[in-house]
Every structure is written in C-alpha cells, then in structure tokens.
Structure 1
Amino acid sequence: MTKNRPLLFAVIYIVGSIFIGPAIAVAGYVITPANGDYCDVIAHGSSGQRDRDYALLEGIQTTGSIIMLAVGLVLLIQLWMNRLRINSLSLVLTNIGILVMVTGYLLVLRAGLAANSSC
C-alpha cells in the first residue's frame, strides 16, 4: 500500500475533482446577488458593488482553478517519478484521469478570466 501512495492521491484527486471543479465554477455565481447576471444593477445596488461582486467571482474561479491545476501537475510528476513501482495500466489510467480533470480546470479558469463586463 505504501508503494502505491502516489496512485492513491491521484485517484483521490480525480474523484474529488468531480465535485470540486463544479463547486469552483458555480460558487462565484451563487454568491453574487444576481446569480451571474452582470447587467442586473438593481440586484447589486450599484454598478460599483456589481463590479466588486464580479471581481470576487473572477478571483474565486481563477484561484481555485490555479490551485487545482498545480495539484494535478504535482501528482503527474509524482506518478512519473514512481512509474517503476506502479502497474502500467494504473499509471496510464490515472494519467488520463488527471489530464481530463486538468482540462476541466482549464475551462473553469478560462471562464473566470473571460468574464465579459459589458451589457
């Protein structure tokens, strides 16, 4: 069991990302008063408050995605450093799983950075 610890963490990352990724993507929208509608100034109270709310939304999505991308990269490095101790099929499957999850986090990061603040 101790020989496959990188594999265990990779599986935890993959399974956890199924829940964490959407939570990061949706969390920012849920905490804004207009639930993601940038043009609804009335729900925010003022355009200044609206801009602050969406700066927070962008920060949540960007920071969460970058952290999870970094964790995925570290796990990929650990897997490849220990590749001789891990079953080849397990190595391939966990690498594919991590790459799929990293792609999802890249999409969340892109959504967070590409927020359009025009109506």
Structure 2
Amino acid sequence: MHFGAADLLRCRFAISPLCQTHEAVRTLRRTERHGYHLPWLRRVREAVTGLDLSELWLLMPGRGGYTPDFLGPPPEVPYAPFEDELARMRSTDPAAAHRELVLSLACTPGAAESPRGRAMLA
C-alpha cells in the first residue's frame, strides 16, 4: 500500500464525542481486546446492569464483522458538539442506513432473522 501527498491531505484529526461513544460501546462489547480498560469496564458493567443491549450488540459483532458506518460518521469539524453529531447520524439517508444494517447483521449468524434484526430491516 502506498500513500502520497494527496492521501495525507485527506487525513484529519478531530475530537468526536460520537466516535468516542461508539468506541466505548465497542470496548464494552469486546472486553477481551481491551485489558487496559479493566477499571473502566468494571464500573460501566455495574452501570449497565439491567439494560437490554441486545439490539446494539446485533450491530457490533463480538468477533470481527462490520459495524454500520452511519453510527460513527467522521466529524466534519475538529471539535464537533455531540448534539450535532447525533443530528448528522439521524440524517443518514434511510436507503444507505438499510444497506449498512444488512451488511452488519449478516456478520452475526441469525441476527437478520431475529425479531430485533427483522425490526431493524423493516
């Protein structure tokens, strides 16, 4: 793989509260990959006890797979407010979101046929 000046110019660094939230949820889902977050994971597990996260887990496969891009679009500005990022996520074209949901659910055997998976694709 080769990168040129044009590729470098397309790179950007930005703080994204939505992407940070996305990665925090991914860490909670795939705990074995994030040993350095154990103190945080212990606290968060207590906080989410009793919450039904099964719908979210369908979109974050435990091993590999694809998480829909619209759940964490790249920020448009260096310090995007969380509310703006949520609004941008909600404004995703429904057809594009559906395509990404199909791809994501296909990564987990039985997910698309589950009641929650079918509801997402309806």
| Length-normalised TM-score, structure 1 | 0.25
Choose between structure 1 and 2 for higher RCO, CA contacts under 8 A separated by at least 6 residues: 1
Larger helix share, 1 or 2: 1
| Length-normalised TM-score, structure 2 | 0.24
